[in-house]
Chain A
């Protein structure tokens, strides 16, 4: 039936496909079908993630609740408290890359004078918006952290659609947290107050936080029970689900799954010789990075984006709590602070080497890798600065990347002095 469907689809013109796809996104029955498929076709934490995504996608496209577009580092708890559906075009851009359809939307952005010098996540988000594929937003909230591109392109979209745009300015220093707390309070008041009390939302958030804490603890086990690639594939749960019951279910089922794998001594790679830490995110289109690493007995044991960088939220001081969560983001603040956290992850997760992915157009992250490499190498920690692109496959040079990965593996091999860590660790 599947091949018949794709054969039918391949006959259609792009415009027809787009039209059909848009219709499908507003079809209640199809959501029921997708839900059924997830319940029968998947299990455990993957099923939880799918069910959550289907439910919130339906809520957004069928306008079951106000749709609030936000940049990925606006706390989703704030959106849930406002009674909205958090929708992140940056996540949609990653999905478009994973489905292999990002090119058309990137080209649309370039036609609209949004230069290919800029981050492809935002260019693709712009193209998806212009194509009318994203759910109509009621308002947009952007945080000034982490990057310039996110807030600028969301502002352009708010101007293009004529809808309200709110910027939460995240100060650099923790002693200015109150200033941000006031901004959040003003925003909530301007939007008519919370619809879901903070206590309820923060209870879900804190439960998920504790389960996530236990998951991160389990991931210290050797061999690694979960790969960074797997975790980064579901990073949207990290960005969007905090503050919803789904996040609690997701992390609890993930915890169960990891316990099972550890019990069965099931590592991600058959012979784990090199444990790596991944900084930034990964390319979301098909590529050979992680299979190359696996072939060389290397695993991403942990990744920057899975850090729990905030403390459980306090509903007696909701605005301060949310402000603290934003200010403490691992990618914000002075690099010394980021370096400290990276060093701690290297120790906690028994890391042999760090890969810093330099995503084209991402000044804040690719601009730090030279500094991090210099500092980490002083501590004897090998660092690979890997240039590439999360969404635009035109910026992905497979040959060059594979060669650099292999050279990095050789550095790790020589560093281990030929000791077979895999045997000594298991």
Chain B
């Protein structure tokens, strides 16, 4: 393994090839240490349909993941994120390995998750106890911790300066989750941080009615179209609580003790996703986001037919309203941000801040 500093900026060695996954609960470090690149699928921008295989009332992300991976030769890691993804795993067949991820943050559940990660490593033909794998894993944890801190710093800069677009973060998350560290390095280091579009440049440091601060909450945001639309309409996005956002990098894996156990604990205890059945933790995190970021408004986006996100909305809305924050509920498919109806609703929501 190359010295840590040099390998930080190298893409994974890919000796084992690429593996595609649907979920941020599949830790890329586990696969990088085995020589694989774990790529999170952010499939295209058009909704897919499989009339012979899947019903109409089915999550757009899972259908797009199927479309992206049906003919893909390589391994897939499908987590038990939801019923829809379980059926996608069935359709993809034996090349798709199922990673069972618990839904409750408890020690007994960390042990189970650790055991499932071990099973997956063994299925890739690697001995998780081997010294070479364990030392690789320690190196990979350091590497990913480094990049997650970079993304957290990028997010802080975007929040604190009216000039930087949230789309910089979306692009950075795309690069991070596709293991493109060379690209991420040049993107973060360079002018990747484009200033907000014309209609949004009026923002200044302190709160400004012209540029209300907005929190976006979702399960998987599907694509960047909602984020870019709200900016274009004139919001300053100060939080992206989605796995196409902060839930992918608000993780720090302890670099002490058994590396795989540390990974299992840190990932299971990362910011709560609606699939995690811990409503109390979920609301605590939303409160913290609201208190830290001081948004004026909140947009809650549900990928059409997503049970998890749909059921959480009611309590999150009540929580936001308790802080006097206005909430807009949106649901949709890929490219929702480009639909005229959504644009009209977001514009009306924006105007409600001026009145």
Task: List residues of chain A with CB under 8 Å of any chain B CB.
Answer: 112-115, 117-119, 144, 147-149, 151-153, 155-156, 159, 167, 169, 171-173, 176, 179, 182-183, 186, 334-336, 358, 360-361, 363-364, 366-371, 373-374, 387
Assembly CA distance A33 to B353 (angstroms): 60
Asked if A364 contacts B83 (CB within 8 A), the reply is yes
Asked if B317 contacts A113 (CB within 8 A), the reply is yes
Asked if B90 contacts A159 (CB within 8 A), the reply is no
Closest Cβ–Cβ distance, residue B160 to chain A (whole Å): 33
Partner of B307, one of A112, A118, A176, A370: A118
Instruction: Tally B residues with Cβ within 8 Å of A.
Output: 42
Asked if B104 contacts A358 (CB within 8 A), the reply is no
Using A148-B83, A374-B52 as known contacts, list a sample of 14 further A-B pairs with CB atoms less than 8 Å apart, ordered by residue number in A: A114-B314, A117-B331, A118-B310, A152-B308, A152-B312, A153-B311, A155-B311, A159-B279, A167-B277, A169-B103, A169-B104, A171-B112, A364-B86, A370-B53
Assembly CA distance A151 to B304 (angstroms): 19
Task: List residues of chain B with CB under 8 Å of any chain A CB.
Answer: 50, 52-55, 57-59, 80, 82-84, 86-87, 90-91, 98, 100, 102-104, 108-109, 112, 115, 275, 277, 279, 302, 304-305, 307-308, 310-315, 317, 329, 331
Residues of B close to A183: CB separation below 8 A:
108
Q: Can you pick out 30 interface pairs between chain A and chain B where the beta carbons lie within 8 Å of each other?
A: A113-B314, A113-B329, A114-B310, A117-B310, A147-B83, A148-B82, A148-B83, A148-B307, A152-B311, A155-B279, A156-B279, A156-B314, A159-B279, A169-B104, A176-B115, A179-B108, A182-B108, A335-B90, A336-B90, A363-B59, A363-B307, A364-B87, A366-B57, A367-B58, A367-B86, A369-B55, A370-B55, A371-B87, A374-B52, A374-B53
Closest Cβ–Cβ distance, residue A225 to chain B (whole Å): 34
Closest Cβ–Cβ distance, residue B64 to chain A (whole Å): 15
Partner of B311, one of A114, A173, A182, A336: A114
Residues of B close to A159: CB separation below 8 A:
279, 315
Asked if A167 contacts B91 (CB within 8 A), the reply is no
Closest Cβ–Cβ distance, residue B275 to chain A (whole Å): 8
Assembly CA distance A333 to B68 (angstroms): 24
Assembly CA distance A213 to B82 (angstroms): 33
Residues of B close to A361: CB separation below 8 A:
57, 305, 307
Nearest-neighbor residue (CB-CB) of B87 within chain A: A367
Closest Cβ–Cβ distance, residue A262 to chain B (whole Å): 38
Residues of B close to A113: CB separation below 8 A:
313-314, 317, 329
Residues of A close to B103: CB separation below 8 A:
144, 151, 167, 169
Asked if A172 contacts B310 (CB within 8 A), the reply is no
Residues of B close to A176: CB separation below 8 A:
100, 112, 115
Given the known interface contacts A159-B279, A172-B98, A183-B108, the answer about A148 and B90 at a Cβ–Cβ threshold of 8 Å is: no
Residues of B close to A367: CB separation below 8 A:
54-55, 58, 83-84, 86-87
Which has the most chain B C-beta neighbours within 10 Å: A148, A156, A169?
A: A148
Closest Cβ–Cβ distance, residue B65 to chain A (whole Å): 13
Assembly CA distance A336 to B98 (angstroms): 14
Nearest-neighbor residue (CB-CB) of A119 within chain B: B307
Closest Cβ–Cβ distance, residue B206 to chain A (whole Å): 34
Assembly CA distance A153 to B279 (angstroms): 11
Asked if A167 contacts B104 (CB within 8 A), the reply is yes
Given the known interface contacts A148-B83, A367-B83, the answer about A117 and B305 at a Cβ–Cβ threshold of 8 Å is: yes
Which has the most chain B C-beta neighbours within 10 Å: A171, A366, A367, A370?
A: A367
